[in-house]
Structures are given as C-alpha cells and as structure tokens.
Amino acid sequence: MKMITFATAAVLALSTPAFAKITTGTSVADMTVVDSNGASHNLSDFAGKRVVLEWTNEGCPYVKKHYNSNNMQDLQRDATADGAVWLAVISSVPGKQGHKDNVQVVNWTAQHDVAATAVILDEEGTLGHAFSARTTPHMYIIDEDQTLVYQGAIDDNSSSNPATIDGATNYVREALASLDAGEAVAVTDTQPYGCSVKYSR
C-alpha cells in the first residue's frame, strides 16, 4: 500500500486542489512514501541531506533519451556518491505507459543499472499531484534544510534525441554543484519537458 503523509500546514495547503504547485522555497520536511520494496521513507529522516525527486516512465522517449545514454544514471551516481538521496517516482497508473509493479521495478533497475536510492510507486498519483509533477522526467531538489530549491527540467534541451545531451546545460547538476559550493541555486524554476505523467485523472 502506497501512503503519502503531509504534516506541515504549508504542504497541506499546497496539496489541494490537484496540481497546485509547491513553490520553490517551501519546506517539504514531513512527507512519508513507501518504495517498491515496501520500505517507508520520510523526508524528515533525511534532514541534513539533499533529496532529488525524479519522475520517470520507462516507455517515454524523453526518459529513454537520458537512460539509454546513461546520462540519468551518471547523475544519480554522482549525486548519491556526494551523499544525496535520490528517489525515482513512478506515478503511472495500471494499464498506462510506464506503470510497474515491485517485480518489474527490480528488473528495470537491474537492466538499466539504475542508481536511485529507491523507486517510489505512486500509482494513485498522490505524490505527483502534491508536487504538480507534469512530465517524465520532472526533477525536484530539496536541500539539507528540507527546502525545495529547484524544480523543472533536467536540462535546457527539450529534444528527445540523445545526441543533444552533449552541450546542454544540466540544471540539476548545476544546482547540486551550487549547493556543494555553499551558493544559492541560480536557476530555481524551469519549464519541464517530456511525456505527460500518466495519472488516472
């Protein structure tokens, strides 16, 4: 059973109506999710660590762009090696593109050498609607103080062609580098690109 719990008033207010955007700079400290292994994770447990949220859908050509080239996995490995928690989120409902059960997640992560800390199965779309995740990929970064510091695209080239990765500005990598340097994130909000998240509503 997938469960999302919000305890801060700010996040509760922003979680309704559906697709109300959580503003960059908002605290998202108390949120519990259950991953594909049945383990619970609460953002309050990650205080002092960065958290990256990545909405994903294996069948989406824009996701394939970053996974088939290993661009996403390299980013996952670099971030987690630096101490970040990386949560890949699947909000596709059963019967729609990208939906996976626990066994399928195991096969997908093994086949593609996925380096996320955990994969969150959000088939009811609770987490996705709360964050207003619209595309796959759609990226979010939460800093050590549990404040949302970036949301939007992975990079500045919205083509699905993997050849366009070279030379693109990777917003996620740049934001993480700024946090490493003790600097404010320069670009905090960008327009996400990709396939629509396959919600039930």
**Is residue 147 domain-resident?**
yes
Helix (H) or strand (E) holding 108: helix 102-111
pTM: 0.89
- CA end-to-end distance (rounded Å), the chain: 19
**Span 128-144, pLDDT tens digits:** 998 999 999 999 999 99
User: Is the separation of the CB atoms in 199 and 91 below 8 Å?
Assistant: yes
Indicate the number of domains in the chain: 1
Question: What Å distances lie between residue 191 and 26, 60, 120, 133, CA to CA?
Answer: 18, 18, 23, 11
What is the pLDDT at residue 2? 27
**Is residue 201 domain-resident?**
no
**Is residue 155 domain-resident?**
yes
Residue 179 belongs to domain with CATH number: 3.40.30.10
**Is residue 26 domain-resident?**
yes
% of the chain surpassing 90 pLDDT: 74
* Residue for token pair 């400290």: 29
How far is 80 from 179, CA to CA, in rounded Å? 14
**Is residue 97 domain-resident?**
yes
**Span 167-183, pLDDT tens digits:** 999 999 999 999 999 99
Tokens of 183: 């600097």
Query: Which range marks the domain in which residue 21 is found?
Result: 5-196
Tokens of 70: 């290993």
**Is residue 132 domain-resident?**
yes
* Residue for token pair 């740049």: 174
% of the chain surpassing 70 pLDDT: 90
What is the pLDDT at residue 40? 87
